[in-house]
């Protein structure tokens, strides 16, 4: 398989934001809109669509992107006919809040505790703007504000600004969003030379996927083809708790850093434990040609990178796990919000800080939901049914094993370090689909 | 294949980390012997696989039962973790050709799968030389249809119990390794004295047999 552009993939119709990696450094914003007047909602799409880059037109040098995605309620609010709505997958139609228990959003992460209006039926249209810096982001936001002018029937109901943290780190202090799968026909290179490019149907509707079937296309074809699904989540991070947990169990500062890396699967610089198991290597971490060029096959016991660590769970690569890893690959985008907790602080300062996480893929059920259920909040696939993801799992007195010679280390009493504050499932249509919705007359 | 499969796999019964799936088929008249041989070939292939490959398939056990005077076939299997989300994985990891091998002798093949094959551009023959060029590609292209037929014939167990359902295959194989190592320790004349250390008390408690 080849990532060469073309290959029957209609890259001039696919929103660039769906597949292009986010810039780094970056500034960005997520906006949620409610559509009270369907005609004005369609007018907004008419105004915004010309501003959206396709994969074919995307300029990697410019690195400015705007994404338009619609929830199921949003499609309804725009007047998409019932017979079309019925052809969308069940999980999308239900929305993230309705799937909460199934995907592990329970306890503090349950929808009744979400930040309004997330989880309500008012989140119709979600815009995501990303740029390399605040000045260029402002040009994107200006464009959005201009498109919203004189449209009182479309109301902005929620906004989350995101920004790069110091040293391009997420709130826990680790470089993230390093991995990007190679996708057939897109021209976008993957970050792991040892991974075969994935079929386009894993990420875009209407193409052959890894099961050799064609990814289901919501009908009519013009609406459903060249789209993808996005699951966005506002993940609040309990950084002080994470630091304190490690401090209480580490022998010294070096051990503390090692333990944190064992939990994550990478060092703070982004250097993978699989390549540098004993100490951080900032040069490696910063090198996009090398920092994701590895597999786990030579480390079956997880002595270098624990089998249950966050990064290894998110993408087990060639490790022996139950199932076929290629059927559950995702594009994962993380952007940071809130102020960083100053280095060394172990007390929570009450500030809201975390990660705006976005999943992108053509199969919500066997990608995002599967990963949440099987890889994050379960351990049977790695042979450890009692353990969950030590960083983002719904832990309540959880456990985590760090393989080590001569004797493994086992951690108990894990609290949740990440709490979901809310999110939604959206469909990111192709550009023709957006024009089709804009031209509806229902 | 332009058609889409939206039906989810049926849910089998679960016990601990194991779930079951039982699907029923009807054997084509005169195909009983060929069907039986194909079922045995699939099991032989699974038996040959190293443990790592078996863990990847997730299969805990599998059996084919021909009944009702050779007219019906039950494929009953248990699977580590949940069958439903892993059904596509199973085809890819076990190898689609093993399913085709025995399923082509069932009437469901003609009534349900063949139409899918037709839609996908046709498949000249599913028998004969499996090494010929393009055969695997043709077979694999019809995976979605195969998934559908499997789900269509599924019946959930009324009752299911597995006495070692709390353990995964990884844990079982590790327990075997640890027991072998422990027995080796116990064979050493110095073991009794060594196991007196307070830290080894739990092991000493297991040393009597």
* Confidence bin at B6 (pLDDT 50/70/90): very low
Instruction: List all residues 6 or more positions away from A89 whose beta carbon is below 8 Å from its beta carbon.
Output: A216, A364, A365, B6
A301: which chain B residues are within 8 Å (Cβ-Cβ)?
none
- Please indicate if any CB of chain A lies within 8 Å of the CB of B144: yes
pLDDT in tens, A12-49: 999 999 999 888 889 999 999 999 999 999 999 999 99
CA of A88 vs chain B CAs: smallest distance (Å): 10
**Shortest Cα distance, chain B CAs vs residue A234, angstroms:** 26
For the cut 70, the answer to whether the pLDDT of residue A238 exceeds it is yes
Q: Is some CB atom of chain A closer than 8 A to the CB atom of B6? A: yes
Output the pLDDT for position B127. 46
A-B interface: how many C-beta pairs under 8 angstroms? 85
For B92, the closest of A322, A324, A385 (CB atoms) is: A324
- CB of A433 less than 8 A from some CB of B: no
Q: Which two tokens stand for residue B155?
A: 């019946």
pLDDT at A3 over 70: no
- Could you tell me if B19 lies within 8 Å of chain A, comparing CB atoms? no
Q: Could you report the per-residue pLDDT of B50-101, keeping only the tens digit for each?
A: 999 999 999 999 999 999 999 999 999 999 988 878 887 887 788 777 888 8
**Alpha carbon separation from A415 to A114, A388, A398, B183, B198 (Å, rounded):** 19, 11, 7, 38, 31
| A307 interface with B at CB cutoff 8 Å | no
Q: Is A212 in CB contact (< 8 Å) with chain B?
A: yes
Are A228 and A18 in contact by the 8 Å Cβ rule? The answer is yes
Q: Is A370 on the interface with B (CB under 8 A)?
A: yes
Q: Hey, which residues 29-68 in chain B have their CB within 8 Å of chain A? A: 52, 55-58
Secondary structure class of A294 (helix, strand, coil): coil
- How far is Cα A420 from Cα A377, in angstroms, rounded to an integer? 14
Which residue in the set A211, A217, A366 is minimally distant from B85, CB to CB?
A366
Contact B83, B9 (CB under 8 A): yes
Question: What residues of chain B lie within 8 A of the CB of A213, using their CB?
Answer: 1, 4-5, 143-144
B138 vs A: CB within 8 A:
no
Which of B8, B18, B89 should we substitute to test contact with A (largest number of A Cβ atoms within 10 Å)? B89
Residue A86: CB atoms within 10 Å: 10
Cβ of residue B170 closer than 8 Å to a chain A Cβ: yes
How many Å apart are CA B150 and CA A273, to the nearest integer? 41
What's the pLDDT at B3? 31
| Alpha-carbon distance B94 to nearest alpha carbon in chain A (angstroms) | 10
pLDDT confidence bin for A87, thresholds 50/70/90:
very high
* A412 at interface of B, judged by CB pairs closer than 8 A: no
Q: Which residues of A touch B144 (CB under 8 A)?
A: 211-213
Please name the residue of chain A whose CA is at the shortest distance from the CA of residue B87: A323
Domain boundaries, chain A: 1-441
B12-153: which CATH topology?
Alpha-Beta Plaits (3.30.70)
Burial class (CB in 10 A: 0-12, 13-18, 19+), B201: exposed
Does residue B110 surpass a pLDDT of 90?
no
pLDDT of residue A167: 79
Instruction: List, in order, residues 6 or more apart from A337 with CB less than 8 Å away.
Output: A160, A161, A162, A163, A234, A352, A353, A354, A355, A356
pLDDT digits (tens, 9 = 90+) for B117-166: 666 555 554 445 556 665 556 555 566 666 777 788 899 999 999 999 99
Distance between CA atoms of A18 and A54, rounded to whole angstroms?
Answer: 9
* DSSP conformation letters of B181-207: HHHHHHTSTTHHHHTTSGGGHHHHTT-
Does the CB of B181 have a partner CB in chain A at under 8 Å? no
Distance from CA of B184 to the nearest CA of A (A): 18
pLDDT at B4 over 60: no
Whether residue A382 lies within 8 A of chain B, CB to CB, comes out as: yes
Nearest C-alpha of chain A: how many angstroms from B49?
Answer: 13
Q: Is the pLDDT of residue A433 over 90?
A: yes
**CA-based nearest residue in chain A for residue B138:** A212
Mean pLDDT of chain A: 95
Candidates A297, A307, A296; CA nearest to A263 is: A307
pTM reported for the whole predicted model: 0.91
Q: What is the mean pLDDT of residues A127-149?
A: 95
Pick among A87, A213, A218 to test the B interface (most B CBs inside 10 A): A213
pLDDT of B8 over the 60 cut = no
């Amino acid at each position: 398989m080849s990532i060469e552009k073309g290959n029957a993939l209609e890259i001039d119709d696919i929103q660039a934001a769906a597949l292009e990696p986010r810039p780094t450094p970056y500034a960005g914003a997520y906006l949620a809109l409610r559509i009270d007047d369907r005609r004005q909602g369609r007018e907004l799409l008419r105004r915004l669509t010309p501003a959206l880059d396709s994969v074919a037109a995307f300029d990697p040098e410019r690195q400015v992107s705007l994404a338009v995605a619609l929830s199921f309620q949003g499609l309804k609010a725009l007047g998409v006919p019932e017979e079309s709505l019925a052809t969308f997958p069940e999980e999308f139609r239900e929305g993230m809040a309705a799937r909460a228990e199934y995907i592990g959003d329970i306890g503090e992460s349950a929808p009744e505790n979400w930040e309004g209006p997330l989880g309500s039926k008012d989140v119709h249209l979600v815009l995501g703007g990303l740029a390399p810096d605040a000045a260029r982001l402002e040009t994107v936001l200006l464009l959005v504000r201009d498109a919203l002018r004189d449209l009182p029937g479309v109301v902005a109901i929620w906004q989350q600004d995101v920004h790069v943290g110091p040293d391009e780190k997420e709130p826990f202090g680790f470089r993230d969003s390093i991995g990007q799968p190679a996708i057939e026909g897109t021209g976008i290179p993957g970050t792991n030379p040892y991974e075969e490019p994935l079929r386009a149907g894993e990420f875009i509707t209407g193409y052959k996927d890894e099961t050799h079937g064609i990814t289901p296309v919501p009908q009519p074809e013009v609406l459903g083809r060249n789209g993808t699904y996005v699951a966005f989540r506002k993940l609040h991070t309990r950084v002080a708790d994470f630091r304190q947990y490690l401090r209480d169990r580490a022998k010294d500062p070096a051990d503390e850093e090692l333990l944190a890396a064992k939990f994550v699967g990478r060092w703070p610089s982004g250097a993978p434990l699989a390549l540098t198991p004993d100490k951080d290597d900032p040069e490696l971490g910063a090198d996009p040609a090398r920092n994701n060029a590895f597999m786990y096959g030579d480390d079956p016991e997880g002595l270098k990178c624990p089998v249950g660590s966050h990064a290894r769970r998110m993408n087990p690569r060639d490790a022996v796990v139950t199932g076929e890893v290629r059927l559950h690959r995702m594009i994962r985008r993380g952007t940071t919000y809130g102020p960083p907790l100053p280095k060394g602080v172990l007390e929570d300062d009450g500030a809201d800080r975390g990660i705006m996480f976005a999943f992108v893929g053509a199969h919500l059920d066997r990608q995002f939901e599967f990963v949440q259920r099987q890889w994050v909040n379960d351990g049977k696939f790695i042979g450890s049914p009692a353990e969950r993801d030590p960083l983002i799992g719904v832990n309540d007195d959880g456990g985590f094993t760090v393989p080590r010679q001569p004797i493994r280390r086992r951690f108990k009493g894990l609290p949740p370090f990440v709490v979901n504050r809310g999110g939604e499932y959206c469909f990111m249509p192709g550009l023709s689909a957006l024009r089709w919705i804009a031209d509806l007359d229902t | 294949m332009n058609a889409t499969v939206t039906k989810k796999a049926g849910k089998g019964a679960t016990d601990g980390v194991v779930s079951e799936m039982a699907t029923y088929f009807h054997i084509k008249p005169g195909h009983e012997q060929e069907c039986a041989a194909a079922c045995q070939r699939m099991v032989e292939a699974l038996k040959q696989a190293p443990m790592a490959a078996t863990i990847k398939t997730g299969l805990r056990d599998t059996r084919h039962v021909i009944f009702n005077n050779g007219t019906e076939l039950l494929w009953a299997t248990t699977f580590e973790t949940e069958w439903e989300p892993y059904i596509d994985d199973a085809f890819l990891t076990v190898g689609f050709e093993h399913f085709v091998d025995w399923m082509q002798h069932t009437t469901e093949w003609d009534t349900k799968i063949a139409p899918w094959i037709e839609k996908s551009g046709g498949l000249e023959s599913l028998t004969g030389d499996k090494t010929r060029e393009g055969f695997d590609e043709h077979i694999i292209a019809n995976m979605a249809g195969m998934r559908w037929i499997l789900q269509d014939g599924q019946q959930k167990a009324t009752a299911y119990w597995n006495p070692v359902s709390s353990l995964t295959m990884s844990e079982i194989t590790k327990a075997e390794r640890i027991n072998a190592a422990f027995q080796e320790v116990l064979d050493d004349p110095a073991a009794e004295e060594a196991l007196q250390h307070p830290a080894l008390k739990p092991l000493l408690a297991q040393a009597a047999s």
